[in-house]
Structure 1
């Protein structure tokens, strides 16, 4: 292999590594929710504003979906989203969702328990830290904290 060919090969490998190091957020998602929940629709609109095409399913058994996703007992919220290879539980702010896809940790997904004020789909300003957790197989662990 001559020097020019080797240089092109190394440049191509570096370029490929640079483009695959950070995965972009997928452009499609499925949001599972209760049919009467309007804040879930607000979260779907927020995802759509980020360029994600959202399919809303409001006739699924949420308990079964949450079990399938691996969400820990007691850390649920009003909706569950399947996006790419991950699950998002609840009103997780986009900073955490983007961090998930940039870091690509070996987890089933991330969540934010309850319906905190100021999160996407929920009215009002953020007044307290959001403790976003990562989960796998019904076990949760800290992922990141988003300060007001």
Structure 2
């Protein structure tokens, strides 16, 4: 009986891990770094639904992205926003935090996914936003 339960649990975990992660990305049609970030997501196993937008401000407002956290493109996964050049690993961490509205990398830091410039890296943080509007640092990425 215990073996059957263990096997069922392992199978369920494997099936969940095998599910493709689909993320909706909203971007301006002329943005090259957005396309590079999409490539980063695809390289890390995400299925990207690409939405070319004419009014990114309206998209950000509709999704609840505060202007202070604003960046280039805005994505949505599991009902949570992903603003800017958030690394794929941090998006996976966000999915484990249903208490958050989303996560953001404000601005466009050099060296973040989609903003690679050789060996140059700016330090940056991934900021989470909860339902009360409180920000918290989810991860820190050092510069050089």
Q: Bin the TM-score by the shorter chain.
A: 0.7 to 0.9
Task: Say which one has the larger Rg.
Answer: 1
Counterpart in the other structure of 1:141: 136
Which structure has more relative contact order (CA 8 Å, sep 6+)? It is 1
Contact 1:26 1:83 in 2 (8 A): no
Residue 37 in structure 1 maps to residue 51 in structure 2 = no
Contact 1:73 1:138 in 2 (8 A): no
Distance 2:18 2:123 in 1: 26
Runs of 5+ consecutive residues of structure 2 not aligned to the other structure: none
Query: By how many angstroms is 1:85 displaced?
Result: 2.9
Please, what TM-score do these two structures have when normalized by structure 1? 0.76
Distance 1:109 1:126 in 2: 27
Q: Where has structure 1 moved over 3 Å in runs of 4 or more? A: 7-16, 22-26
Please, what TM-score do these two structures have when normalized by structure 2? 0.78
Runs of 5+ consecutive residues of structure 1 not aligned to the other structure: none
Q: What does 1:86-101 correspond to in 2, within 5 Å?
A: 86-101=80-95
Higher strand share: 2
